Amino acid sequence: MTLSQADYRDRMTEALRTSRADFTDIRLELIETTDVRYRGGRLEAATTGRDCGGIVRCLAGGRWGTASFNSLEDLPARVDEAYACAQSVPSGDVALAPVEPVVDVVPAPIVRDFRQVNLSAKKALAKGYSDLILAQPSVTDARTSFSDRFCACYYASSEGSFIYQEHPYAVLGLSATARDGSEVQSAGDGIACGLDVGLAEGREDVALEVAGRAHALLAAPPVKGGVYTVILGPRMAGLFVHEAFGHLSESDFLADSPKAQEMMTLGRRFGREFLNITDGGAAAPGLRGNMKYDDEGVRCGDTDLVREGVLVGRLHSRETAGRMGERPTGNARATFYRYPPIVRMTNTRILPGPHHLEDMLADIKLGVYAKYSGGGQTFMENFAFASGGSYMIRDGQVAELVRDVNFGGNLFTTLANIDAVADDFTWGASGGSCGKGQEMWLPVGMGAPHVRVREVLIGGR
Amino acid sequence: MTRFATANSAVDMAEHLLELARRRADQVEVYLSESEETGAQFNAGKVRTVGASQRLAVAVRVIKGGRLGFYATSDLTDLGDAVERTVAAAAEGQEVRFDFAERAAGPVVKTWDDVTAGLGASDLVTMGSEWLGRVAEAEPEAVVNGFVQKALVRTHILTSNGQDAVRQDTGLAVEVEASRTRPNDVANLWQFHHGVRRDDDLEANLDRLCRNFRLSRELTTVRPGRMPVVLSPARAGLFLDRLVEGVSGRNVRAKVSPFIDRVGQPIVDARVNVVEDPTLDWEPGSSSYDDEGIPTARTPILQNGVLQGFMYDLSSAGDLGVRPTGHGRRHTAFFPPSVLSTGMVLEPGDQSLEELLADIDEGLYVEEVIGGTGNLLDGAFSHPVAMAFKIEGGRLGGRVKDVSIAGNIYELMRDHLGGLENRAYSNGAWFRAPHIRLNDVSVAGKA
């Protein structure tokens, strides 16, 4: 169906007018996707899709009811359905923190638009990298992909907000598998290029790096398990701050738990004076987690979480801010229309510190330099993450490549054990995707400088 | 037994799409998925949200000139446009060496439960309050969150080769997430369970969660080194996740499976039997047909430790010149089919859990691990534990934190299998497994 912005606005406003709830909002999303995948030089998929749907939330007597749907035809009926759901909650005490209604149209600041590149050209791009990777020594399999998703999102609330935003996401994915007899090793990387598809072109350097790393990992010994001083590269440090710290800053975990609030009391010292952590939807241009407004129409700003080593803030939706008597931070996000928004990060970063990388290395007799990231997970105060390639540090020098490097630890002791933060901040170019609860793959940004941590437990045989 | 408000119009639509597309292509497949869900979300033990969801999406595949076109959409206002886009995708699609499913009847599998289908929002609130209440009773200090969700799902797969496969499933999904926070000590336990209906495995899994809370009140340590490790049924994924990758026809085609040319050879200990069986009644991943309309069947994977065969979808089977085994599965309508397991069973052994633990002086019982998946193909793993307990003098003791387990699961299951429990439990998703005892696992930690 082809409707104008004014048509959507009229339909949504009309449906909101019928609501009997205290507060109602509607989010509609029109999503166009393409996905091109090569494996082993062979085209595995060249697919396109269109996904349209929405969700209505009603808050009635402190109780939430929601209705999600694909058909945009009968919005008043969906509002009724959400209201009926709220009525079936026995009792409730939800109170949203107040915000000013917003009317705004926010087109994405696109430089070169991936929607202007046809499927054939996207195939050629992915195929070129696939061929290059497969031509490298020991490589037996290559997976390359170009996936994009353009989401046009309409938001309207009974308080008078109406916002149109565009969220373009695209990722070039490159990975290599090398094999020597029964030994198999893989390496991968990704380039986020949602605002500028040109960033995916001419990246032979990245393709050669993943192929070379997979090859080198074949001969690399597994790291010996134990406790080490570790230097986290910017990517690993960004992943660490997201996984270990960021998730505990999400106030839905705190709002109902006095004990957890005690643990995360503002003013508690978490690290040394050079540790600063922030989250924000507009931290720098072109980041994966960028948004002007979150999924309940709240303006995204920068939120200081740790300032000079001390906990100073946390991330909120209107609901958690209302419950805790704080201000919303614009962190209510949903992966797509199927879900109501929950508290999520946007772009999380460790700010640059006063130290130099060479000095940080110099006094390490035996340690690990975790350069490439391989994914992470948090489990409350416990976290874990994997490195996709690490080096031993011997006598202050970066030495041999090692594999199977997995870190785990306790957030509080690990933050306290950060004894140096370098001055070489970078945002991760690959862009991350975050999972929480039932919802996977929410685009987020992460950034950090090199960070040194004492006494890190590394698993190993 | 049609229970979907839109079912008749959806069937008409699928047939109409098939007709439109077959005029433009050599072969056509229409996959239509419809669902109605109702769920109650609990925060801190209380229902805060009730939600309803209606979904309808269709995926069309065509083969034209030997190339595959795929297009998926939930915008069903213009079927002609959907066909145009699918045919356009075929011009750029991959070359294929398979045909869409032909008419064939699948086994009869029970996946629809009238009682579950009839549950209303208030029933879900009552059930959730009961289950979460049990956890709160076992651990009064815990903050308990979770949800209970009922789903009715109807899937229709039509092909121009005559297949007309319909599946109707009920689903009852329960998530319980509970944490007890003490200064610098958070015990977080999580259980997700998905069944066709209310089943005994959910009760058993919740009992285990309550037991774990009780055990976790006391903190203790183990001496790092090699020791016996008992994996909870949920952690059998350390083995089964890797096994599925190894026997996937897609990985055989890509020549990265470690099992190529090893059918008939022993892979692990002779006490290990694994079968992929989506034909079992009342199991959450069971079905009469896979997502390409191929009838499902019981597929032996390991018998007495010996590799029996692989799992194929249409695409991998076509390229390798073998018959598809009914393992073409889609995450949702928006994903093309791939090889996935939906019903793997690690057969029980002959010892009770108490007997498995009995002669362990010092060991580790692992309920939950965190972190990445290691190397899925070669069997290597390395994970910090999220919830683990000391085994001491043959019994479960307090919680052990800040240790990691590592090894190669194939080597451990081959050379160091201590035994398998005599009962298997559903993990609430795609496999069923007993407790597994491994005798010589590396446990790293701060000494």
Count A/B contacts: CB-CB distance under 8 Å: 268
What is the sign, positive or negative, of the torsion defined by CA atoms of B282, B286, B289, B291?
positive
Asked whether the beta carbons of residue A459 and residue B406 sit closer than 8 angstroms, the reply is yes
Length of chain A: 461
Same domain as A154, residue A25: yes
Contact status, residue B399 vs residue B219, Cβ threshold 8 Å: yes
Give the pLDDT of residue B6. 52
Residue in chain A closest to B440 (alpha carbons) equals A461
For residue B41, list chain A residues with Cβ-Cβ distance below 8 A: 64
DSSP string, A342-398: EE--SEEEEPP-SB-HHHHHHT-SEEEEEEEEEEEEEETTEEEEEEEEEEEEETTEE
Residue in chain B closest to A376 (alpha carbons) equals B371
What CATH number is given to the structural domain containing A72? Answer: 3.30.2290.10
Asked whether the beta carbons of residue A377 and residue B52 sit closer than 8 angstroms, the reply is no
At B441, list the tokens: 């696992």
Asked whether the beta carbons of residue A457 and residue B179 sit closer than 8 angstroms, the reply is no
Task: List the 277-336 stretch of A: residues with Cβ below 8 A of B.
Answer: none
Same domain as A245, residue A214: no
Report helix angle A75-87 to A5-17, nearest 10.
40
Of A66, A386, A412, which is closest to B49 when you measure between CB atoms?
A66
| Mean pLDDT, residues A252-259 | 87
Asked whether the beta carbons of residue A257 and residue B52 sit closer than 8 angstroms, the reply is no
For residue B380, list chain A residues with Cβ-Cβ distance below 8 A: 222, 404
Contact status, residue B31 vs residue B157, Cβ threshold 8 Å: yes
Number of domains into which chain A is organized: 2
Maximal C-alpha separation, chain B: 72
What Cα–Cα distance (Å) separates residue A335 from each residue in A176, A216, A309, A406? 29, 37, 32, 28
Contact status, residue A236 vs residue A371, Cβ threshold 8 Å: yes
Same domain as A201, residue A250: no
Asked whether the beta carbons of residue B48 and residue A92 sit closer than 8 angstroms, the reply is yes
Q: What angle do CA A349, A355, A357 make, to 5 degrees?
A: 90
Average pLDDT of the residues of chain B: 93
Neighbour tally for A57: CB within 10 Å:
25
Asked whether the beta carbons of residue A259 and residue B141 sit closer than 8 angstroms, the reply is yes
Same domain as A429, residue A311: yes
Q: Which of B32, B37, B53 to mutate to test the interface with A (most CBs of A within 10 A)?
A: B53
Same domain as A192, residue A253: no
**N- to C-terminal Cα distance for chain B?**
62
From A93, A91, A19, A99, select the one nearest A57 (Cα to Cα): A19
Q: What angle do CA B82, B88, B92 make, to 5 degrees?
A: 135
Asked whether the beta carbons of residue B184 and residue A412 sit closer than 8 angstroms, the reply is yes
Give the pLDDT of residue B2. 37
Neighbour tally for A439: CB within 10 Å:
17
A163 touches chain B (CB under 8 A): no
Asked whether the beta carbons of residue A380 and residue B175 sit closer than 8 angstroms, the reply is no
Q: Which of B376, B404, B416 to mutate to test the interface with A (most CBs of A within 10 A)?
A: B404
Contacts of B204 (CB under 8 A, 6+ apart): B425
What CA–CA distance (Å, rounded) separates B295 from B279? 10
Query: Residues A131-149: pLDDT tens digits?
Result: 999 999 999 989 999 999 9
A458 touches chain B (CB under 8 A): yes
| Mean pLDDT, residues A65-85 | 95
Statement: residue A87 has pLDDT above 60: yes
Same domain as A374, residue A418: yes
Burial class (CB in 10 A: 0-12, 13-18, 19+), B265: exposed
* Residue A13 C-alpha from the chain's centroid: 32
| Mean pLDDT, residues A453-457 | 93
CA distance A452 to chain B (A): 19
> A69 forms bridges with which residues in the sheet?
A54
Same domain as A272, residue A129: no
DSSP string, A36-104: EEEETTEEEEEEEEEEEEEEEEEEETTEEEEEEES--S-HHHHHHHHHHHHHTSS-----PPP----EE
Asked whether the beta carbons of residue A182 and residue B179 sit closer than 8 angstroms, the reply is no
Task: List the 20-59 stretch of A: residues with Cβ below 8 A of B.
Answer: 33, 39-40, 42-53
From B330, B314, B315, select the one nearest B58 (Cα to Cα): B330
For residue A45, list chain B residues with Cβ-Cβ distance below 8 A: 70, 94, 336
Same domain as A373, residue A288: yes
Asked whether the beta carbons of residue A50 and residue B183 sit closer than 8 angstroms, the reply is no
Asked whether the beta carbons of residue A64 and residue B258 sit closer than 8 angstroms, the reply is no
Q: Which of A31, A34, A39, A47 to mutate to test the interface with B (most CBs of B within 10 A)?
A: A47
At B226, list the tokens: 């090699």
**Structural domain that includes position A272:** 226-459
Give the pLDDT of residue A150. 97
For residue B429, list chain A residues with Cβ-Cβ distance below 8 A: none
Asked whether the beta carbons of residue B50 and residue A65 sit closer than 8 angstroms, the reply is yes
Q: Which of A36, A406, A438 to mutate to test the interface with B (most CBs of B within 10 A)?
A: A406
Would strands A162-180 and A139-157 be described as parallel, antiparallel, or unpaired? antiparallel
At B426, list the tokens: 């559903």
pLDDT in single tens digits along all 447 residues of chain B: 334 445 567 778 899 999 999 999 999 999 999 999 999 999 999 999 999 999 999 999 999 999 999 999 999 888 999 999 999 999 999 999 999 999 999 999 999 999 999 999 999 999 999 999 999 999 999 999 999 999 999 999 999 999 999 999 999 999 999 988 887 778 888 888 899 999 888 888 899 999 999 999 999 999 999 999 999 999 999 999 999 999 999 999 988 898 999 999 999 999 999 999 999 999 989 999 999 999 999 999 999 999 999 999 999 999 999 999 999 999 999 999 999 999 999 999 999 999 999 999 999 999 998 765 556 788 888 888 889 999 999 999 999 988 889 899 999 999 999 999 999 999 888 899 999 999 999 998 876
Residue in chain A closest to B338 (alpha carbons) equals A44
Residue finishing a domain among A219, A244, A275? A219
Asked whether the beta carbons of residue A259 and residue B75 sit closer than 8 angstroms, the reply is no
What CA–CA distance (Å, rounded) separates A404 from B424? 31
Q: Which of A73, A88, A245 to mutate to test the interface with B (most CBs of B within 10 A)?
A: A88
Residue finishing a domain among A185, A219, A253? A219
Asked whether the beta carbons of residue A88 and residue B254 sit closer than 8 angstroms, the reply is no
Give the pLDDT of residue B7. 53
Contact status, residue A195 vs residue A286, Cβ threshold 8 Å: yes
Asked whether the beta carbons of residue B371 and residue A386 sit closer than 8 angstroms, the reply is yes
Contact status, residue A338 vs residue A441, Cβ threshold 8 Å: no
Residue in chain B closest to A183 (alpha carbons) equals B378
Asked whether the beta carbons of residue A86 and residue B94 sit closer than 8 angstroms, the reply is no
Same domain as A193, residue A276: no
**Residue A208 phi, psi (nearest 5):** -70, -35
DSSP string, A246-303: GGGGBTTTTTT-HHHHHHT-TT-B-S-TT--EEEETTSSTT-TT--SB-TTSPBP-EE
From A357, A329, A353, A327, select the one nearest A341 (Cα to Cα): A329
Contact status, residue A148 vs residue A49, Cβ threshold 8 Å: no
**Residue A216 phi, psi (nearest 5):** -65, -35
Q: Which of A184, A387, A453 to mutate to test the interface with B (most CBs of B within 10 A)?
A: A184
Same domain as A148, residue A41: yes
Burial class (CB in 10 A: 0-12, 13-18, 19+), B204: middle
Same domain as A284, residue A201: no
CA distance B299 to chain A (A): 25
> B195 forms bridges with which residues in the sheet?
B172
Query: Residues A158-180: pLDDT tens digits?
Result: 999 999 999 999 999 999 999 88
CA distance A143 to chain B (A): 10
Query: Residues A257-273: pLDDT tens digits?
Result: 888 898 899 999 999 99
What CA–CA distance (Å, rounded) separates A352 from A35? 36
A265 touches chain B (CB under 8 A): no
Residue finishing a domain among A176, A195, A219? A219
Contact status, residue B190 vs residue B118, Cβ threshold 8 Å: no
What Cα–Cα distance (Å) separates residue B389 from each residue in B341, B364, B394? 30, 6, 12
For residue A340, list chain B residues with Cβ-Cβ distance below 8 A: 49, 51
What Cα–Cα distance (Å) separates residue B374 from each residue in A239, A381, B81, B369? 17, 22, 43, 12
Supply the ipTM of this predicted assembly: 0.91
At A220, list the tokens: 């690399």
Would strands A277-280 and A347-350 be described as parallel, antiparallel, or unpaired? antiparallel
Statement: residue A346 has pLDDT above 80: yes
Asked whether the beta carbons of residue B384 and residue A460 sit closer than 8 angstroms, the reply is no
From A147, A161, A230, select the one nearest A193 (Cα to Cα): A147
Of A49, A53, A86, which is closest to B71 when you measure between CB atoms?
A49
Q: What angle do CA A172, A173, A174 make, to 5 degrees?
A: 120
Same domain as A381, residue A291: yes
For residue B372, list chain A residues with Cβ-Cβ distance below 8 A: 374-377, 384-386, 406
Asked whether the beta carbons of residue B49 and residue A65 sit closer than 8 angstroms, the reply is yes
